[in-house]
Amino acid sequence: MEGKKVVVVGAGPVGSLAALYASSRGAVVEIYELRDDLRNADTTPLNFTKSINLALSKRGIDAIHSTGNTDLLDKILGRTIRMYGRMIHLRSSSGALLQQFQAYDVRGRFQRSVDRGELNKVLLDHLDSLPNVKFFFQHKMTGADFRKKKAWFEVMDKTSTTLSDRPQEIEVSFDFCIGADGAHSATRYHMMKFARMDYYQIYIDCLWCEFTMPPTKEGGYAMPPTYLHIWPAGSFMFIALPNLDNTFVCTLFGPVELFTKLENGTDAELISTFDKYFPGVTTFIPPADLVAQFKRNPHLPLISIKCSPHHFGDSVVIVGDAANAMVPFYGQGMNAGLESVRVLFSKLDQASNRAEALAKYSAERTEDTHVIADLALANYIEMRSSVTSPLYKLRKFIEERLDKYAPSLGWATQYSRVSFSNMRYSEVIRRSKSQKRILTTLLVAATGTGVLGTVAGVWLFWTRLRHQKMFGLPWPSR
Amino acid sequence: MEGKKVVVVGAGPVGSLAALYASSRGAVVEIYELRDDLRNADTTPLNFTKSINLALSKRGIDAIHSTGNTDLLDKILGRTIRMYGRMIHLRSSSGALLQQFQAYDVRGRFQRSVDRGELNKVLLDHLDSLPNVKFFFQHKMTGADFRKKKAWFEVMDKTSTTLSDRPQEIEVSFDFCIGADGAHSATRYHMMKFARMDYYQIYIDCLWCEFTMPPTKEGGYAMPPTYLHIWPAGSFMFIALPNLDNTFVCTLFGPVELFTKLENGTDAELISTFDKYFPGVTTFIPPADLVAQFKRNPHLPLISIKCSPHHFGDSVVIVGDAANAMVPFYGQGMNAGLESVRVLFSKLDQASNRAEALAKYSAERTEDTHVIADLALANYIEMRSSVTSPLYKLRKFIEERLDKYAPSLGWATQYSRVSFSNMRYSEVIRRSKSQKRILTTLLVAATGTGVLGTVAGVWLFWTRLRHQKMFGLPWPSR
Question: What's the Rg (C-alpha) of chain A?
Answer: 24
Q: Do B199 and A196 touch (CB under 8 A)?
A: no
In chain B, the number of structural domains is 3
Least confident of A157-171, A363-377, A430-444, B96-110: A157-171
DSSP letter string over B128-179?
Answer: HT-TTEEEEETEEEEEEETTTTEEEEEE-BTTB--GGG---EEEEE-SEEEE
**What residue spans of B229-286 are helical by DSSP H?**
256-264, 267-277, 281-284
Q: Do B164 and A152 touch (CB under 8 A)?
A: yes
Dist. CA B17–CA A429, nearest whole Å: 50
Of the two residues A439 and A124, the one the predictor is more confident about is A124
Beta strands across the sheet bearing A169-173? A139-145, A150-155, A169-173
Residue B276 has pLDDT above 70, yes or no: yes
Q: How far is CA A31 from CA A127, A313, A315, B12, in A?
A: 10, 21, 16, 40
Least confident of A141-145, A413-417, B133-137: A413-417
User: Is A51 in the same domain as A162?
Assistant: yes
pLDDT for A169 equals: 87
Residue B212 has pLDDT above 80, yes or no: yes
DSSP letter string over A393-422?
Answer: HHHHHHHHHHHHH-GGGT---HHHHHHH--
Dist. CA B355–CA B176, nearest whole Å: 11
pLDDT for B412 equals: 83
Nearest to B166 among A163, A169, A201 (CB): A169
Give the residue from chain A lying closest to B148, CA to CA.
A162
Report the mean per-residue pLDDT for chain A.
Answer: 88
H/E element, B206? strand B198-213
Whole-prediction pTM:
0.83
3-state secondary structure of B301: strand
Mean pLDDT of A258-269: 97
Q: Which of A160-164, B92-96, B197-201 has the highest mean pLDDT?
A: B197-201
Q: Strand A176-179 vs strand A5-9: parallel, antiparallel, or unpaired?
A: parallel
Mean pLDDT of B5-10: 98
Dist. CA B97–CA B276, nearest whole Å: 11
B426 belongs to a structural domain:
yes
pLDDT for A152 equals: 96
A104 belongs to a structural domain:
no
B-chain residues near A163 (CB < 8 A): 142-143, 152, 169
Domain boundary among B254, B273, B300: B300
* DSSP structure class, residue B194: T
The answer for residues whose C-beta is within 8 angstroms of residue A140's C-beta and 6 or more apart is: A34, A153, A154, A156, A186
Interface of A with B (CB under 8 A): 142-143, 145, 150, 152, 162-164, 166, 169, 171, 184, 189, 193, 196-203, 301, 303
The answer for residues whose C-beta is within 8 angstroms of residue B407's C-beta and 6 or more apart is: none
Q: Where are the beta strands (DSSP E) in B273-425?
A: 300-308, 311-312, 316-318
Other C-beta atoms within 10 Å of B415: how many? 19
Let me know: does A1 contact A26? Beta carbons within 8 Å. yes
Q: Do A164 and B184 touch (CB under 8 A)?
A: no
A460 belongs to a structural domain:
no
pLDDT for A463 equals: 62
User: Is B121 in the same domain as B186?
Assistant: yes
User: Is A17 in the same domain as A118?
Assistant: yes
Confidence label for A381 from pLDDT (cuts 50, 70 and 90): confident
Angle at A228 between CA A226 and CA A234, to 5 degrees: 150
Confidence label for B48 from pLDDT (cuts 50, 70 and 90): very low
B-chain residues near A184 (CB < 8 A): 193
Least confident of A59-63, A102-106, B390-394: B390-394
B461 belongs to a structural domain:
no
Q: How far is CA B359 from CA B99, B314, B458, in A?
A: 49, 9, 51
Q: Strand B198-213 vs strand A198-213: parallel, antiparallel, or unpaired?
A: antiparallel
- pLDDT tens figures, B367-377: 999 999 999 99
B-chain residues near A199 (CB < 8 A): 199-202
Q: Which of B202, B204, B259 to mutate to test the interface with A (most CBs of A within 10 A)?
A: B202
- pLDDT tens figures, A315-344: 999 999 999 999 999 999 999 999 999 999
A93 belongs to a structural domain:
no
- Flag whether the ipTM exceeds 0.90: no
Residue A441 has pLDDT above 50, yes or no: yes
B194 belongs to a structural domain:
yes
Angle at B8 between CA B5 and CA B14, to 5 degrees: 140
Q: Do B202 and A198 touch (CB under 8 A)?
A: yes
Dist. CA B466–CA B464, nearest whole Å: 5
For B449, how many CA atoms within 13 A lie in the half-sphere containing its CB? 0
B459 belongs to a structural domain:
no
Residue B46 has pLDDT above 60, yes or no: no
Least confident of A416-430, A450-464, B4-18: A450-464
Let me know: does B321 contact B179? Beta carbons within 8 Å. no
The letter for the amino acid at B286 is: P
Give the residue from chain B lying closest to A153, CA to CA.
B164
B-chain residues near A196 (CB < 8 A): 203, 301, 303
Report the mean per-residue pLDDT for chain B.
Answer: 88
Q: Do B164 and A184 touch (CB under 8 A)?
A: no
User: Is A190 in the same domain as A170?
Assistant: yes
pLDDT for A49 equals: 45
pLDDT for B158 equals: 57
Nearest to A171 among B164, B201, B301 (CB): B164
User: What is the distance in angstroms between the Cα of A152 and the nearest Cα belonging to chain B?
Assistant: 7
Of the two residues B178 and A38, the one the predictor is more confident about is B178
Q: Do A169 and B164 touch (CB under 8 A)?
A: yes
* DSSP structure class, residue B409: G
Let me know: does B294 contact B270? Beta carbons within 8 Å. yes
User: Is B25 in the same domain as B152?
Assistant: yes
Q: Do B199 and A200 touch (CB under 8 A)?
A: yes
Confidence label for A79 from pLDDT (cuts 50, 70 and 90): very high
The end-to-end CA distance of chain B, in Å, is: 51
User: What is the distance in angstroms between the Cα of B236 and the nearest Cα belonging to chain A?
Assistant: 20
User: Is B248 in the same domain as B332?
Assistant: no
- According to DSSP, the residues that pair with A362 across neighbouring strands are none
Mean pLDDT of A35-58: 72
Let me know: does B99 contact B153? Beta carbons within 8 Å. no
Q: Strand A85-91 vs strand A97-103: parallel, antiparallel, or unpaired?
A: antiparallel
Nearest to A203 among B143, B169, B198 (CB): B198
pLDDT for A468 equals: 46
User: Is A313 in the same domain as A258?
Assistant: no
**Burial class for A431, CB neighbours closer than 10 Å (0-12, 13-18, 19+):** middle
Confidence label for B148 from pLDDT (cuts 50, 70 and 90): very high
The end-to-end CA distance of chain A, in Å, is: 51
User: Is B39 in the same domain as B155?
Assistant: yes
pLDDT for A424 equals: 95
Q: Do B198 and A197 touch (CB under 8 A)?
A: no
User: Is A207 in the same domain as A196?
Assistant: no
Dist. CA A306–CA A325, nearest whole Å: 7
Angle at B199 between CA A49 and CA A8, to 5 degrees: 50
Of the two residues B106 and A304, the one the predictor is more confident about is A304
Pairs of CB atoms within 8 A across A/B: 50
User: What is the distance in angstroms between the Cα of A159 and the nearest Cα belonging to chain B?
Assistant: 18
Nearest to A166 among B162, B169, B196 (CB): B169
User: What is the distance in angstroms between the Cα of B194 and the nearest Cα belonging to chain A?
Assistant: 12
pLDDT for B140 equals: 94
Q: Do A199 and B203 touch (CB under 8 A)?
A: no
Give the residue from chain A lying closest to B167, CA to CA.
A166
User: What is the distance in angstroms between the Cα of B202 and the nearest Cα belonging to chain A?
Assistant: 4
Let me know: does A309 contact A209? Beta carbons within 8 Å. no
User: What is the distance in angstroms between the Cα of A8 and the nearest Cα belonging to chain B?
Assistant: 20
Residue A477 has pLDDT above 70, yes or no: no
Let me know: does A89 contact A462? Beta carbons within 8 Å. no
Domain boundary among A382, A403, A428: A382
pLDDT for A382 equals: 75
Let me know: does B248 contact B241? Beta carbons within 8 Å. yes
Task: Please choose, from the candidates B465, B194, B167, B398, the residue with its C-alpha nearest in 3D space to the C-alpha of residue B315.
Answer: B194
Give the residue from chain A lying closest to B308, CA to CA.
A202
pLDDT for A454 equals: 64
Domain boundary among B349, B382, B415: B382
Mean pLDDT of A180-187: 96
User: Is A187 in the same domain as A171?
Assistant: yes
Q: Where are the beta strands (DSSP E) in B233-331?
A: 237-242, 248-254, 300-308, 311-312, 316-318
A-chain residues near B145 (CB < 8 A): 162
Let me know: does A23 contact A127? Beta carbons within 8 Å. yes
B437 belongs to a structural domain:
yes
User: Is B219 in the same domain as B352?
Assistant: no
User: Is B152 in the same domain as B271?
Assistant: no
Q: Do A169 and B171 touch (CB under 8 A)?
A: no
Confidence label for A462 from pLDDT (cuts 50, 70 and 90): low
Angle at A459 between CA A458 and CA A464, to 5 degrees: 100
CATH number of the domain residue B377 falls in = 3.50.50.60
The range of the structural domain enclosing residue B434 comes to 390-445
Beta strands across the sheet bearing B176-179? B133-137, B28-33, B5-9, B176-179, B316-318, B311-312
Dist. CA A76–CA A61, nearest whole Å: 9
- According to DSSP, the residues that pair with A179 across neighbouring strands are A9, A318
Q: Do A193 and B199 touch (CB under 8 A)?
A: no
Least confident of A214-228, B16-30, B84-98, B153-167: B153-167
pLDDT for B130 equals: 97
